[in-house]
Amino acid sequence: MIGGLQEGAFHLRLLLRNAYFVQAALIAPVVFVVLRVQAGRGGPALGVDGAVVGVWTVTAAAVGILGYQRSQGTLEQIALTPRPLGGALAPISLACAGVGLLSIPAAVVASWLLGSGSAPRSPALIALGLVLLLAACGTTALVLSGLFVLTPHATVYEPVLVAPVLLLSGTVIDRAQLPVPLQLLGVVDPLTGAVQILHAGVSGDASGDVIALWSAQGLITSLLSLLLARLILRTALRRARLAGTLALS
């Protein structure tokens, strides 16, 4: 456990030295906040929505570094480990989500500067929502990591997943404004629970049952993401054994 955290901290330091990821973490939430204000849809939850946009966008983009490692021929070195492959990729996934934490102060400051800032009614719920957000982004990043190992063309999934995941979670628009089928689909989105808890922390008007329900949704979907990632990675290793090689490039 400690070794995994140390490895994750190592990958996080490497990502923070990359200007692209730092700029993305700072620019993405600010642009989202500005566009929402210009559209007349500020509101007290604008800061947390911008933070979610930044964390998820940067997480999805940072996982793409595995595609770069594949092209450089270093992905095989990560796979050649006595640990389960998921254990080798998990620190990278957590580091990708960690970079997105830079988006939180950027989104909050931008919302206050544009007159849409609001102090949270329940800091405890905000803290819970942020934990669920990191869990959702980290586990989803592990799924994306598995796809990068499974197929050399997984980079196409990155831009395709960013917007739909945010839309279904209720970050871009309120979930109640979505068609019922999309609302139901949003229940399996790991970000949904985190977003709803963050909104409850800002408004302070959610009941205990609602908070418990969305907290459970966030935890369960994050767990399902872990199971899906494990299935994908086991499939990748099975293919490697059949091919008689661990070459991934």
**168-209 residue pLDDT tens:** 999 988 888 999 999 999 999 999 999 999 999 998 888 889
Tell me, what's the pLDDT at 94?
82
Rounded average pLDDT over 55-61: 87
Q: Could you give the C-alpha distances from 81 to 13, 84, 246, in angstroms and in order?
A: 22, 7, 11
Tell me, what's the pLDDT at 73?
65
Contacts by residues 212-219 (CB-CB < 8 Å, ≥ 24 positions apart): 215/128, 215/132, 217/187, 217/192, 217/193, 218/132, 218/135, 218/136, 218/190, 218/192, 218/193, 218/194, 219/132, 219/135, 219/193
Tell me, what's the pLDDT at 136?
93
Structure tokens at 15: 């990502």
Tell me, what's the pLDDT at 20?
84
**Does 167 have pLDDT greater than 80?**
yes
Percent of the chain at pLDDT above 90?
A: 34
Q: Per-residue confidence at 92, pLDDT binned at 50, 70, 90?
A: confident
Predicted confidence (pLDDT) per residue in 212-244, tens digit: 999 999 999 999 999 998 898 888 777 767 766
User: Would you give the DSSP letter of residue 83?
Assistant: S
* Averaged confidence pLDDT in the chain: 84
Predicted confidence (pLDDT) per residue in 210-220, tens digit: 999 999 999 99
**Does 2 have pLDDT greater than 80?**
no
Rounded average pLDDT over 119-143: 90
**Does 18 have pLDDT greater than 90?**
no
Comparing 22 with 64, the larger pLDDT belongs to 22
Percent of the chain at pLDDT above 70?
A: 86
Query: Which residues lie closer than 8 Å to 166 by C-beta, 6 or more apart?
Result: 52, 53, 56, 172, 191
